[in-house]
Amino acid sequence: MWTLSQHDAAAAIAFVIVVYVGWNVASSVVARRAVNKVLADQVIYEPPSLPVLGHTLELANNKDHLHDWFTENLWLQVDDQIEEVFKTHVNIFEKGPDIREIGYDFFGEGIVGVDGEKWRQQRRTASHLFSMNMLKDKMDAVVIEKSLQLRDVLAECARLNKPVSMKSLLSKLSSDVFTKIGFGVDLNGLGGDVDVEMEHSFIKAVETFGYVFQSRLQSPMWLWRLKKRFGLAEEGELRKAKKIVHDLVMEIMKKSITDKNAATSSKQEKDLIALFMDTMDSTADVMEVRDAVMNFFLAGKDTTTFSMSWMIVNMNRYPRVLDKIRAEINSNLPELVSGELEAPSMSDLQKLPYLEAAMRESLRLYMATVHRAPN
C-alpha cells in the first residue's frame, strides 16, 4: 500500500529532480545567450543547436573529422607569437573552468591541468629541476641505454628479415625512458615480443587515461559527469586505471621518502620523483609531487612517440634531407659511423645542426599538442 510517508518521499525526490533539471536548463540558456552574443559580435559561424542538448548531436555526427567540422582556427607558427600565448600572456589564454574540470582526474594540480598562479609555480619548479645537471645526466644515461636497446631490437629484426611496427617500438622506447627518468622504474618494454603491445598494467592504465579524456572532450558535460558519478562505461574503467596509476606512484614516493630520510639515495640514482621530494619542505603536499611527475609522464610519452614517428616518415618522404643528415653524421661524428662511439651524447648532438633543423621542421609541420581552446 502507498503510505503517506512514501508519498512525501516521492514528492521530495520529484521536487529535487525538477529543481536540478530546471537549474541546468536555466544555466544552459544563460550560457548559450552569452556565447551567442560573442559569436555574433565576432561574426563567427555556429552550427545549429538544440535546447539543453546544444551541439551534442552535431558533435556526435562529426566526431571522426572534428578538425574539418570545427569553426575557423588561428594557427601560430612564429616563435614570438607562440611564446606570447603559451608563456608571456598565458594568464589571458587560460584553459578555463570547464577544461580544468574535464582534465582534473588525469592531471590533478599538475602544470597541464591548472591556470594562473598554480601554473606559474609549477613552471618555476619544473624549470629549476630541468636545469639541474643531475637530471640532465640521468636523462642522458637513460636515453642512451634505451636507444642502444632499440638499436639491438632493430638489428635482430633486420637479421631475421622481419617487418616491425616502428610506432609500436617507439612507444615502448618512450614508455621505458619516461618511467625510468620519472619514477626510477624500468618497464623493459623493449625487452618483450616486438609483435605484442606493452602489457604492463601501468601503461594500460595510462592508455585508458588517454581515450577517456578524449571521450570527455567529445561528450556533454552532464553526460560524463553522470557516468563518473555511477562508474558507468569508460568512466568505470577510468576509476580502476586511476587506482593502478596512483598506487604505483605513491609506492615509489614512499620509497623515495624512506631513502631521503635514511640518506641512502646516491646522486647518480635520483629520478624525477626524488628530485621533487628534495625540493619539498616538511609542509608540502605529496599529492602535488605525484601530480607534477604524472604530468611529466602524460605530457611527454605520447608526444615523443608521435614526434619521432613523424620524423621517420618525413625522412622517407624526403630522401634528399635524409642524405644530408647521413652526410653530416659521416662528417661531424665519424666515430659513430665506425662503431667507436655506440650512441651520441647530448654534447655530441650539438655537432649535428642540420639534424636538429630537420627535427625542428618536422615538429613545426606535425605539432603534437600545441592547442589553446577558448572557453
- pLDDT tens, position by position, 126-170: 887 777 787 888 888 999 999 999 999 999 999 999 999 999 999
Q: Which domain holds residue 141?
A: 126-365
- We report the CATH number of the domain holding residue 211 as 1.10.630.10
Burial class (CB in 10 A: 0-12, 13-18, 19+), 235: buried
* 85 within a domain of the structure (yes/no): no
In this predicted structure, the answer to whether residue 116 has a pLDDT above a threshold of 50 is yes
Domains contained in the chain, number: 1
Closest alpha carbon to 206 in 294, 142, 304 = 294
Q: What are phi and psi of 330, to 5 degrees?
A: -60, -40
* 338 within a domain of the structure (yes/no): yes
Q: What is the pLDDT of residue 62?
A: 81
Average pLDDT, integer, range 171-183: 91
* 4 within a domain of the structure (yes/no): no
Q: What is the pLDDT of residue 158?
A: 94
* 313 within a domain of the structure (yes/no): yes
* 280 within a domain of the structure (yes/no): yes
Terminal-residue alpha carbon distance, the chain: 52
What global pTM score does this model have?
Answer: 0.77
Quickly tell me which residue has 602544470 as its cell. 111
* 88 within a domain of the structure (yes/no): no
pLDDT per position as a tens digit, 21-55 = 677 666 666 666 666 666 566 656 667 777 767 77
In this predicted structure, the answer to whether residue 264 has a pLDDT above a threshold of 60 is no
In this predicted structure, the answer to whether residue 288 has a pLDDT above a threshold of 80 is yes
Q: What are phi and psi of 215, to 5 degrees?
A: -65, -40
3-class secondary structure per residue, 14-77: HHHHHHHHHHHHHHHHHHHHHHHHHHHHCCCCCCCCECCCECHHHHHHCHHHHHHHCCCCCCCC
* 46 within a domain of the structure (yes/no): no
Cβ contacts of residue 328 below 8 Å, gap of 6+?
352, 353, 354, 355
Per-residue cell: 237? 574503467
In this predicted structure, the answer to whether residue 70 has a pLDDT above a threshold of 90 is no
For the ranges 13-17, 336-340, 352-356, the lowest mean pLDDT is seen at 13-17
Average pLDDT, integer, range 178-198: 85
In sign, the C-alpha dihedral spanning 90, 206, 218, 310 is positive
* 17 within a domain of the structure (yes/no): no
HSE-up of residue 13 (Cα within 13 Å, Cβ side): 6
